[in-house]
Amino acid sequence: MQTHHGIIAIVLLALVVLTAYFKDYAQRPLSVDSEQVKLVIVPGTSFREITRQLHEAGIISNRWSWDTFARISGAAHEIKAGEYLLVTTLSPQQLLHKLVAGEGTQFAMTVIEGSTFGQLWEAVQENDKITKTVSSPQELLTRLELKSSHPEGWFFPDTYRFSPGVTDVQFFRHLAQHMQSVLDEEWARKKPGLPIHTREEALILASIIEKETTVEYERAMISAVFTTRLKRGMRLQADPTVIYGMGEAYDGNIRRKDLKMDTPYNTYIHKGLPPTPIALPGRASIAAALNPADSEMMFFVAKRDGTHHFSSTYSEHRKAVIRYQLKGCKNCYGKDPGN
């Protein structure tokens, strides 16, 4: 019985000693020499690896004490990825707080509404804070398990913050999941009776709307024009689709011969929607594609202030083209005025 009590006493004494030790350890500076040390924790790094990095960087000297302190505090697995500038005179408690709070440097990339996947791909390739693991868009689609065979349109444009070392697949997956979430939310509010039957078709139409205007209040009207044309089996005659189909051949101007170029994206030649989106649309354009204005306008033409004039008849549209595009020159009006 005395032996049993003795063991309990020893255990209690050990606990008291350890408690006192770690209470002192938590508050004591890790070093008396003040230096700044850079620490990069990439996403998915284990706590054991983080401890190794801290030790090799000279931030901690006693790995056991740090490891035990972090684990008994319950925060060992709450450390955030990031790029940290750490002062070696921090106490273990201050260090752990910074790592758990994520008080490190994060980087941002803004994906602009209406930009193309090609532009996004190039931006990611040029960003040295993103680790590259795939060599082509097709390999990316395979890794992401996207059902589409074409990447255009499937990545939501927004400003994204990320830690150094995030992989390209992780970055693109976040954008793709964001787009799917927005699509699902807007699809749930879809107006009935539209000639849009799938989320992909909604994305295609939204991308055309995105490229046609940046004026918020016009999106639903432009959507109404395209919706009316789709219902009536008319060609969309959307210049941005022609431009997309031209690829690098586009030099900033569309000529009459370009409107006759037979590409899958030439909506002056082919009826219906093009085969894929032509850009990365934002939420407003997706919402407009699924909720067009209650209008049967069939034409629109750009005015000089960036807005559009909408017409319900070809005759009215012809007059608008002469007024806004041809500066009143009636003889300049061709057979293919465009939208």
Q: Rounded to whole angstroms, how far apart are CA atoms 14 and 6?
A: 12
Q: Are strands 159-162 and 36-41 parallel, antiparallel or unpaired?
A: unpaired
Q: What is the DSSP letter of 190?
A: P
CATH number of 2-101: 3.30.1490.480
Angle at 99 between CA 95 and CA 104, to 5 degrees: 110
Strands, DSSP E only, in the chain?
A: 36-41, 82-87, 107-110, 159-162, 299-302, 308-311
For residue 3, the SS3 value is helix
Cα–Cα distances (Å) from 211 to 119, 178, 214, in that order, read: 15, 20, 8
Q: What is the pLDDT of residue 335?
A: 46
Measured CA distances, 179 to 185, 198, 199 (Å): 10, 15, 11
Domain ranges of the chain: 2-101, 106-235+275-295
Find out whether 123 and 129 touch, Cβ atoms under 8 Å.
no
The pLDDT profile of the chain, 339 residues, written as one tens digit per residue, is 556 655 665 656 556 556 677 788 888 888 767 788 888 888 888 999 999 999 988 888 888 888 888 898 888 888 888 888 888 888 989 888 888 887 777 788 999 999 999 999 999 999 988 999 999 999 999 999 988 889 999 999 999 988 877 899 999 999 999 999 999 999 999 999 999 999 999 999 999 999 998 889 999 999 999 999 999 999 999 999 999 999 888 888 888 888 889 999 999 999 999 999 999 999 999 999 999 999 988 998 888 888 998 888 888 888 888 888 776 565 555 544 444
Of 291, 333, 134, give the one whose Cα is nearest residue 205.
291
